[in-house]
Amino acid sequence: MKTNAQIEEIRRDTFSELIIRKGRKADAETPVKHVMVCAGTGCTSSNSEEIISRLRVQIEKHGLGETVKVVQTGCLGLCAKGPIVIVHPDDCMYTMVTPEDVSEIVESHLVGGTPVTRLSEGDSQVVKDFFNKQMRVALRNCGLIDPENIDEYIAFDGYKALAAVLSEMSPSDVIQTVKTSGLRGRGGAGFSTGTKWEFASKNEAERKYVCCNADEGDPGAFMDRSILEGDPHSVIEAMAIAGYAIGSNQGYIYVRAEYPIAVHRLKIAISQARNYGLLGRNILDSGFDFDVDIRLGAGAFVCGEETALMASIEGKRGEPRVRPPFPAEKGLWQEPTILNNVETLANVAPILLNGAEWFADLGTLKSKGTKVFAIGGKIANTGLVEIPMGTTLREIVYEIGGGIPGGKAFKAAQTGGPSGGCIPAKHIDAPIDYESLIELGSMMGSGGLIVMDEDTCMVDIAKFFLEFTVDESCGKCTPCRVGTRMMYDILDKITQGNGTEKDLDELERYARVITKTSLCALGQTAPNPVLSTLKYFREEYIAHIKEKRCPAGVCKQLIVYAIDPEKCTGCGLCKKNCAFGAISGEKKAPHAIDPEKCVKCGMCLTKCKFGAVTTK
């Protein structure tokens, strides 16, 4: 247990130690350096753990243990160039580091004082462009602190908002501030966070609950996981603030079991917060009690829906129920409950520290603040970015994202995951905010943004999302269980080359019914990927139906493999690898594929070193 004065002391001491990470030069007498290594899921997958352990060994070996500190951080965002190593205070970022590079970094930079330009200069422009237009509020600490050390969170104003709230503000002041800031839910629907808290605060009950939605269902998005991995305390602090605001003493974080690193760091963070008395009884001597527990999800997308999530915490099948009553009235165990998304919560402490007006000044008229996006797909700089609301898609794709690789053309960006839609190239200058995305037939969603190029088939993408909803529909209501299946079957038929034009009308008709009659938002939004691709890429559907042709060369039944005689050198590699004997040709002469024997397995395509195999 610590008093507020003790926490302040920790803040002062740790901050003076960490200040070199904020660009302040250390004095020459004590050449302290912090070597930050990204240990987010992306960089861990490309072996950053090995880099960390080699760094530690080498640093010890060179007797630098006293002055150089190796820090494992959360995701910095530039996953495409990972693993990333940053050396403070030299403001030096190394990209695509391998374990073999470690001794050079240690010997040349840390011992000799000469940065390894080979690893820092190649991508320096990319790094500049990537971070230039970003603004970090929710991700403020990701990459800056060690997520497993509460002192580092405290150093950068962590738990300061909670202390201020408990000592100076009434619950209704807190709610008013959050309301005035204009913060809206980042989990998808964009509902006013302050208003939601107000509803729950007004409902009198013995017990109330604060839940955090860390179920991150959008397949292809990892914003929430990165916040939990990089800055778990920001979520815990906000939950305690929310608890104070609505009059609740118990919080639950519902997190996907598939996120082992996030779960591990959350557990550490909760136990550290309890040790410091920032969770538990009588927090900071204010008389307010609040604790947080973790509940693991178990791989059901529908559990992201609020009533289903609560059923799952109760230990039942995660099936949604009809609303009203809304959770603010009857939620978990029939008590008033609020549910907020991870990123929503990560914005709360900065709002209370910097004031509602500061936040309300960021973004657009109706969408305040920033939004984190996980950009992926056919884009150079895949990763995590946080931008002010109102930034255009063009800025994200071309300036931050570095454009489309391989000189291909931008075709569309998909947002909102299985509930969202595609934004075509002609709307690339649209500002990203809640309203304009809805207007374009997509939605903000939780922040997945997948870029597609000319090689992506839009019918196939629509089918991909429908397959996902068919799989994930909980089966409780008929329109969603049966309707999505019927839509999927039609899409499948079209990609096989057996569609008719009447099928397109049928798709639209089913979509209307499913949207209107499904029980929860899973079903209500499931047709969106089909409707938006039909709206912007109808000609592609028509090509599949009338010409039996897949313009992007994706749909297996409709493509023919062939060899371009101009490019074929006759090396024979494809012939050797074809398990079906479909390729013939003399050495050094152009080869040919027999369409009768070809099963379209794609082996020749992957083996050809000259790009001579075509699929059109």
Query: Binding residues for other proteins, per CB under 8 A?
Result: 40-42, 44-46, 79-80, 82, 217-222, 225-226, 257-259, 295-301, 312-319, 333, 374, 376-378, 382-383, 414, 417, 448, 450, 452, 456, 461, 464, 474, 601-603, 605-607
DSSP per-residue codes, 385-451? EEEETT-BHHIIIIIIS---GGGPPEEEEEESGGG-EEEEGGGTT-B-SHHHHHHTT---TTSEEEE
CB-nearer residue toward other proteins: 166 or 413: 413
Residues 413 and 423: beta-carbon distance below 8 Å: yes
CB-nearer residue toward other proteins: 150 or 211: 211
CB-nearer residue toward other proteins: 80 or 543: 80
CB-nearer residue toward other proteins: 278 or 604: 604
CB-nearer residue toward other proteins: 179 or 607: 607
From the list other proteins, ligand FMN, none, pick the one residue 221 interacts with, judged by a Cβ distance below 5 to 8 Å according to partner type.
Answer: other proteins
- Between CA 151 and CA 163, with CA 157 as vertex, the angle to 5 degrees is 95
CB-nearer residue toward other proteins: 109 or 411: 411
Q: How far is the CB of 284 from ligand FMN (least distance, A)?
A: 26
CB-nearer residue toward other proteins: 159 or 373: 373
CB-nearer residue toward other proteins: 72 or 364: 72
From the list ligand FMN, other proteins, none, pick the one residue 299 interacts with, judged by a Cβ distance below 5 to 8 Å according to partner type.
Answer: other proteins
Beta-sheet strand order (sheet of 209-214): 291-296, 250-255, 209-214, 337-341
Q: Which three-class secondary structure string do you get for 287-354?
A: CCCEEEEEEECCCCHHHHCHHHHHHHHCCCCCCCCCCCCCCCCCCHHHCCEEEEEHHHHHCHHHHHHH
Among 65, 112, 117, 191, binds ligand FMN (CB under 6 A): 191
**Residue 11 makes contact with ligand FMN by CB under 6 A:** no
| Both structure tokens of 416 | 């909102």
- B/e letters for 151-171, b = 16+ CB within 10 Å, e = fewer, are bbbbbbbbbbbbbbbbeebeb
From the list other proteins, ligand FMN, none, pick the one residue 182 interacts with, judged by a Cβ distance below 5 to 8 Å according to partner type.
Answer: none
Q: How far is the CB of 524 from other proteins (least distance, A)?
A: 20
State the amino acid at position 142 in one-letter form: C
CB-nearer residue toward ligand FMN: 131 or 326: 326
Q: How far is the CB of 193 from ligand FMN (least distance, A)?
A: 6
Q: How far is the CB of 472 from ligand FMN (least distance, A)?
A: 8
Nearest C-alpha neighbor of 87 from the set 169, 168, 31: 31
Task: Please state at what angle helix 223-230 crosses helix 260-275, rounded to 10 degrees.
Answer: 40
Interface positions, 284-303, toward ligand FMN (CB under 6 A): 301-302
Q: How far is the CB of 95 from other proteins (least distance, A)?
A: 12
CB-nearer residue toward other proteins: 20 or 221: 221
Give me the helices (H) in 526-572, please. Answer: 528-536, 538-546
Report the distance separating Cα 540 and Cα 538, nearest Å.
5
Q: For ligand FMN, what does the binding mask look like between residues 300 and 319, x meaning CB under 6 A?
A: -xx-xxx-------------
| Both structure tokens of 311 | 């059923």
Residues 250 and 290: beta-carbon distance below 8 Å: yes
From the list ligand FMN, other proteins, none, pick the one residue 220 interacts with, judged by a Cβ distance below 5 to 8 Å according to partner type.
Answer: other proteins
Report the distance separating Cα 48 and Cα 60, nearest Å.
18
From the list other proteins, ligand FMN, none, pick the one residue 417 interacts with, judged by a Cβ distance below 5 to 8 Å according to partner type.
Answer: other proteins
Stretch in the footprint of ligand FMN (CB under 6 A) among 69-77, 100-108, 186-194, 323-331: 186-194
From the list ligand FMN, other proteins, none, pick the one residue 80 interacts with, judged by a Cβ distance below 5 to 8 Å according to partner type.
Answer: other proteins
**Residue 143 makes contact with ligand FMN by CB under 6 A:** no
| Both structure tokens of 231 | 């800055």
Neighbours of 562 (CB within 10 A): 15
Distances, alpha carbon 489 to alpha carbons 195, 289, 467, 495, in Å: 42, 53, 9, 10
Q: How far is the CB of 432 from other proteins (least distance, A)?
A: 18
Q: How far is the CB of 343 from ligand FMN (least distance, A)?
A: 8
Instruction: Considering only CA atoms, give the Rg of the chain.
Output: 27
CB-nearer residue toward ligand FMN: 369 or 401: 369
Interface positions, 206-225, toward ligand FMN (CB under 6 A): 213, 215-217
Give the sign of the dihedral formed by CA 272, CA 277, CA 279, CA 280: positive
- Between CA 395 and CA 406, with CA 400 as vertex, the angle to 5 degrees is 100
From the list ligand FMN, other proteins, none, pick the one residue 305 interacts with, judged by a Cβ distance below 5 to 8 Å according to partner type.
Answer: ligand FMN
**Residue 339 makes contact with ligand FMN by CB under 6 A:** yes
CB-nearer residue toward ligand FMN: 187 or 331: 187
Q: How many residues does the chain have?
A: 616
From the list other proteins, ligand FMN, none, pick the one residue 215 interacts with, judged by a Cβ distance below 5 to 8 Å according to partner type.
Answer: ligand FMN
Instruction: List residues near ligand FMN by CB under 6 A.
Output: 185-189, 191, 213, 215-217, 301-302, 304-306, 339-341, 344, 446, 520-522
